[in-house]
Amino acid sequence: MIARDGGVDRRQFLEDSLLAAGVVPQCCSTPPAPMESIRFEGSRLILDLRRIPTLRSNGSACAVWDETRKLNLIVARTEAKHFVALNRACTHGGASCTYMHKSRTLRCTSLNHAEYTLDGTLLHGRTHGNLRAYHLRLNGPYIEIDLEKAS
């Protein structure tokens, strides 16, 4: 909870306070894709939908995090056969974004609540720009995400 400069990390403090009060922070509402559902082929990230139960319904989302590749993505199912993949870290302060199905947007879980369209365009918020959205395609039960090509 202590920031590098010796001060209190505000976001961590708030998350810890919410947990102590029995409230799960929104950043925890995007479940991670199971490791066995993820594989890489060159610059493509391939997700096996058969192994990601949390992506079975419209409006669902999962997170894909790979520290060695510096990846932190959110993948959302917006319609039966339509998915989007974007960087998950807000361009303001790096807090996690979550998928809001009702508004078809991504919203930062920090108190400033920056919001982005599904192509990554900033709608409002004090941020440092848009989120990167990735080109993807469905191939049978797989989502193939091109990590080098923006959508």
Binding site for ligand FES (CB under 6 A): 90, 92-95, 108, 110, 112, 114, 125, 127
Torsion sign over Cα 53, 101, 151, 64 = negative
Q: Give the list of residues 6+ apart from residue 93 with CB closer than 8 angstroms, or none.
A: 11, 110, 112
Q: How far is the CB of 127 from ligand FES (least distance, A)?
A: 6
Q: Yes or no: say if 58 and 78 are a contact pair by the CB < 8 Å rule.
A: yes
Residue nearer to ligand FES on the CB measure, 55 or 108: 108
Residue nearer to ligand FES on the CB measure, 78 or 127: 127
Q: How far is the CB of 84 from ligand FES (least distance, A)?
A: 18
Q: How far is the CB of 45 from ligand FES (least distance, A)?
A: 24
Residue nearer to ligand FES on the CB measure, 38 or 120: 120
Residue nearer to ligand FES on the CB measure, 124 or 135: 124
Q: How far is the CB of 34 from ligand FES (least distance, A)?
A: 27
Which tokens go with 140?
């049978």
